Chain A
Amino acid sequence: GIQVEQSPPDLILQEGANSTLRCNFSDSVNNLQWFHQNPWGQLINLFYIPSGTKQNGRLSATTVATERYSLLYISSSQTTDSGVYFCAVEGKLIFGQGTELSVKP
């Protein structure tokens, strides 16, 4: 089956810094999503992005399907951005292991 790898596994930032999270997948996909899991465990949809680039406020994402990776950009990070970021691919949503982000004030 498809393997999904996320990097880095952990990231500590100072408030206001920018960051890039990466998601690599082992085969071509028709579906890719990014989620943010908040401290209460809820999975929040960030982007549905099987290809191309999307932006939503301070967050943006790019998927290069032909090269089998997706990037999530967080600009001007805030403490509320803390949590775990997941990418997931395909219809059955195969998840990566996530990137745990901690933003310090």
Chain B
Amino acid sequence: SQTIHQWPATLVQPVGSPLSLECTVEGTSNPNLYWYRQAAGRGLQLLFYSVGIGQISSEVPQNLSASRPQDRQFILSSKKLLLSDSGFYLCAWSVQSEAFFGQGTRLTVV
């Protein structure tokens, strides 16, 4: 069966430090991969979307970037974190239509 792994679960980083969040999917090939952010409040905002290796669509201009070095690996990065980057980051995958989410990373920038 398919599983998605996202780590770390929580992270506290100082302003100006770099960021790397990793997400991997097992049990499927060529999934669509997504990064979302949920800030204070409820809405989930799509940050990046990938349909294949090296193919990244950025949905919102920001301080973050994403990469997909392998078929089932999706990485969210920043060179210098801002206070406004704090939030709950969720990775998701889908094949055909239904999407499934990882457990999320709670990032606090201090």
Query: What residues of chain A have their CB less than 8 Å away from a CB belonging to chain B?
Result: 30-31, 33, 35, 40-43, 45, 48, 50, 84, 86, 88, 91-95, 97-98, 100
Q: Say yes or no: is B46 at the interface (Cβ < 8 Å to chain A).
A: yes
Determine the distance from Cα of A100 to Cα of B42 in the docked complex, in whole angstroms: 9
Assess whether A41 is in contact with B42, with CB atoms less than 8 Å apart. no
**Residues in chain A near residue B94, CB distance under 8 A:** 91
**Residues in chain B near residue A94, CB distance under 8 A:** 46
**Residues in chain A near residue B7, CB distance under 8 A:** none
Q: Say yes or no: is B31 at the interface (Cβ < 8 Å to chain A).
A: no
Residue from B34, B38, B42, B103 within 8 A of A93 (CB atoms): B34
Assess whether B97 is in contact with A48, with CB atoms less than 8 Å apart. yes
Assess whether A42 is in contact with B34, with CB atoms less than 8 Å apart. no
Q: Say yes or no: is B25 at the interface (Cβ < 8 Å to chain A).
A: no
Contacts across chains A and B counted by CB atoms under 8 Å: 50
C-beta contact mask, B68-101 vs A, less than 8 Å → 1, else 0? 0000000000000000000010101010011111
**Minimal beta-carbon separation of B59 from chain A (angstroms):** 7
**Residues in chain B near residue A48, CB distance under 8 A:** 97-98
Assess whether A93 is in contact with B97, with CB atoms less than 8 Å apart. no
Closest B residue to A32 by CB, please name it. Answer: B97
Of A41, A50, A84, chain B has the most CB atoms within 10 Å of the CB of: A41
Determine the distance from Cα of A95 to Cα of B90 in the docked complex, in whole angstroms: 13
Q: Say yes or no: is B5 at the interface (Cβ < 8 Å to chain A).
A: no
Closest B residue to A49 by CB, please name it. Answer: B98
**Residues in chain A near residue B46, CB distance under 8 A:** 92-94
